[in-house]
Structure formats: C-alpha cells, structure tokens
Amino acid sequence: MINQAVMRQLPNVISLFRLTAVPVLLALAWFGYPRAFLALLVVSFASDVLDGLVARRFGLTSELGATLDTVGDFAIYCTIPLAGWWLWPEILRREAIYFAMAVGSFLLPTAVALVKFRRPSSYHTWAVKIAALLVGGSVIVLFAGGPAWPFRVACPISLLAGLEEIAITLVLTKRRSNVRSLWHVLRATR
C-alpha cells in the first residue's frame, strides 16, 4: 500500500518529472538522438495528462500542483523549438510561422499573468487542454516525418487558447488556478 503522504504528492512528482526531463531532452537533441528525444517527449506529454487525472481523481489538487504543472508544461514547450532546431532545422525553417504561433500562445499569456499577478496563470482551461493535445500530438507527428497539416491546424487553435488566457487574466482581479474558460470567469463575475 502506498504511504498516504507519498500519495498526496504523486501529482506533484509527476509534474516534476517533466522538469527533470527537460535537460535530458536537450541533451538527446544536442547529441543527435531523434528517436530517443521523441520517445521521451511522448512520455513527457503523457505525464502532463496523468498528473491532472491523478490529482482530480483522488482529490489532490492544490495551488502548488497547479503551479508545478504549469512550470513543467512551460519548460517542455520551451524545449521543443530549441531541440527541434538542433534535430530538424529544415522543419523549423519551413514551419517557422507556426512555431512562432505556438511559442507565442504560451509565452504571451504567461508574460501577461506574470506582470499582473507576479505568478504564472495556471488556468488549465478547456481550450488550453485541447490545444496542448493537438500541438503536442501534431509536433510529434511532424518531427517523426509525418504531414505538416495537423501542426498547421493546431497552432491557430493554440493561439486562440492563449488569447483566451490573456482575456481571463485581464478580467480577473486576483489570481486563480484551474479556470475552465473565459465564459465561466465572466459568469462568476456577474
């Protein structure tokens, strides 16, 4: 049986895994191991889904957990373009506008939240969850030699999700975690 204290921290440990995966991902890319990079990236994306499922299923959500999840996601998504440049520079050049859209969709909302609340947003909106699945899955397909169109479709969706996060930050008067959507925020402020 798992110790209760360990169980309470399980979602946080899963989120921390993503942070520890970042230097490994960067090393794999730098030394030219594309298959190992993609395999670890897939595991990292799976850990992003798993930490939230475990936290919600067992009632282990917390501000710390939401922040760790956001920081882990941010670190992985910052790693992808750099590692992609080292491993697949021709793809990055060809898809530069879409990578810029994807990077902007998580950098800008984070910057706005940092300016307003001095902390990252950690909203985990429905739109961001969908965008993360689409961008994450499509970037793996793209780097594995698949078609570019799924990534090209996912990036504008990610940009819209980022714009929703910015709008949420502008509407909220104090920082909150785990916000479903702008509609939910607006409805709560009435």
Mean pLDDT of 22-26: 98
Q: What is the pLDDT of residue 190?
A: 78
Of 10-24, 36-50, 55-69, give the lowest mean pLDDT range: 55-69
Contact present, 136 and 76 (Cβ < 8 Å): no
Mean pLDDT estimate for the chain = 93
Mean pLDDT of 151-180: 95
Of 8-17, 90-99, 122-131, 165-174, give the lowest mean pLDDT range: 8-17
Mean pLDDT of 8-26: 92
Neighbours of 15 (CB within 10 A): 25
Q: What is the pLDDT of residue 129?
A: 92
Sign of the Cα pseudo-torsion (112, 117, 118, 122, in order): negative
Q: What is the pLDDT of residue 6?
A: 67
DSSP string, 163-176: HHHHHHHHH-SS--
Q: How many helices (H) and strands (E) does the chain have?
A: 8, 0
User: Considering the entire predicted model, what is its pTM?
Assistant: 0.89
- Cα(123)–Cα(63) distance, rounded to whole angstroms? 11
